[in-house]
Amino acid sequence: MVSGKGAQRILLLLSGEHPTIPCSEALAVLRTEGVEFETVARSNQVLILDSGKGAGDAIGGRAAFTMEGGRFLFSAKPSVEDVELRCSMADWSFLEGRSFGVKVTRVRDYFMGVDTQKVQGEMGYSIKKQTGSSVNLRAPDFWIRGVLTDGGFFAFSLDFTTDRKAFSARRPRSRPYFHPGVLDPKIARAFVNLAQVKRGEVFLDPFCGTGGFLIEGALLGCQVCGIDLDMRMIKGGRQNLAHYGLEADLIHGDARDLPLERADGIATDPPYGRGSSTMGENTKGILSEFFREGHRALDKGGYLCTAAPLEINPAVLAKEAGFTVREEHRMRVHKSLTRSIIVAERT
């Protein structure tokens, strides 16, 4: 049981951009930041947790695939009547007479027969009647959020919103050096989070290319080190990090023979032998050798997050190198490419 000062039940509204990564990323952030938690319930795009102090700050400051979150208020069956009933039974004392606004949204097309505008209106009326607080839909002291999803209706007080616009502002094409095959900054951030590196720790991307993962790691306050076999990438990566005023150690080298002693976490997107260069080498062979090197360089308990084409089966290669594979996610890119994304622990 999670207890202590600041412990509370929270709801996280996750992005629908991927079915499994948003939830894994949020939980990885809590582990990394040392926030205690227990999962209470999960629905499509909704995660409810009992968590220790600092969960909102940790997730709001790091996660790419959590949209917003805050104190869990109540759940209800997906009907206007049940929401009204549960709303009338909830504890609204935290409002302390201050203004509020209610906003109810629907995940995908769940319970289309329930009118979200009506739910919103009824909740506003009920809370106002119970507390005497005024409704302010422009700049309320509190936003009360409602979400209709596969598991029913959930209400929470909006305590934090992640700055997702900042990720779009860092899109690869807006950087001084661009090369095709760079992952979107949100995915890059999620990979770094899945590698569970803390501020001040050493984060390594051994196939760093233009530096997309290094930028995310450096923004989280890690000491970042990137390696690439192509000198053009090293120069371009340096330009890209400097563009954001970030520091990184970029080394011209080979991921199969890492020129560094140790790392606390590794996240990377290796070449797939398609668009990006493998310098004529076999992708599976490169990955196997890199996993052995990664296993050597990572401290015990350190995590590696990497992607590879599904047919290469990186989970098997990581196990052969001595890792314990904790998670596997799939990401379909197009008809002939599905990525397998693995999170492996150096046990």
Ligand X SMILES: C[S@@+](CC[C@H](N)C(=O)[O-])C[C@H]1O[C@@H](n2cnc3c(N)ncnc32)[C@H](O)[C@@H]1O
Residues that bind ligand X (CB under 6 A): 181-183, 206-213, 227-230, 233, 254-256, 269-271, 276-279, 286
Half-sphere exposure of 333 (CA within 13 A, CB side): 16
> CA 193 to CA 199: how far, in whole Å?
11
Asked whether the beta carbons of 122 and 146 are under 8 A apart, the reply is: no
Neighbours of 135 (CB within 10 A): 14
Smallest separation (angstroms) from ligand X to the CB of 262: 18
Shortest distance, position 181 Cβ to ligand X, whole Å: 5
In angstroms, rounded to a whole number, what is the distance separating the alpha carbons of residues 215 and 175?
A: 11
- Give the number of other CB atoms < 10 A from CB of residue 20: 13
- Residue count (the chain): 347
Closest to ligand X by CB, 122 or 216? 216
Nearer Cβ to ligand X (47/331): 331
| Closest distance of CB 182 from ligand X, Å | 4
Half-sphere exposure at residue 308, Cβ-oriented, CA atoms within 13 angstroms:
27
φ, ψ dihedrals at 314, nearest 5°: -60, -25
Measuring CA to CA, how many Å separate 27 from each of 68, 325, 341?
Answer: 14, 16, 16
Q: Which residue has the tokens 């009647």?
A: 129
Residue (19 or 259) nearer to ligand X, CB: 259
Residue placing its CB nearer to ligand X in the complex, 76 or 208: 208
Closest distance to ligand X from the beta carbon of 177 (Å):
9
**Minimum CB distance to ligand X smaller for 94 or for 178:** 178
Of 183 and 315, nearer to ligand X (C-beta) is 183
Compute the least distance from the CB of residue 179 to ligand X, in Å. Answer: 6
Residue placing its CB nearer to ligand X in the complex, 14 or 286 = 286
Of 1, 5, 50, which is closest to residue 27 (Cα–Cα)?
50
Q: Going along the chain, which residue ranges are E strands?
A: 8-14, 37-43, 46-51, 66-76, 100-106, 142-149, 152-161, 202-205, 223-228, 249-252, 263-268, 298-309, 324-334, 337-345
Report in angstroms how near the CB of residue 175 gets to ligand X at its nearest: 9
Rounded to a whole number of angstroms, the minimum distance from the CB of residue 32 to ligand X is: 21
Which residue, 122 or 254, has its beta carbon nearer to ligand X? 254
- With b for 16 or more beta-carbon neighbours within 10 A and e for fewer, the 174-199 pattern comes to ebebebeebbbbbbbbbbbbbbbbee
Rounded Cα–Cα distance for residues 199 and 57 (Å): 14
Cα–Cα distances in angstroms (integers) from residue 178 to residues 132, 212, 245, 279, in the given order: 56, 10, 17, 19
- From the CB of 73, what's the least distance to ligand X, in Å? 40
Least Cα distance to 291 among 264, 316, 309, 311 occurs for: 316
We find the least distance from the C-beta atom of residue 1 to ligand X, in angstroms, to be 41
Q: Residue 171 or residue 330: which is nearer to ligand X going by CB?
A: 171
C-beta of 230 vs 327, nearer to ligand X: 230
Closest approach, Cβ 203 to ligand X, in A, equals 13
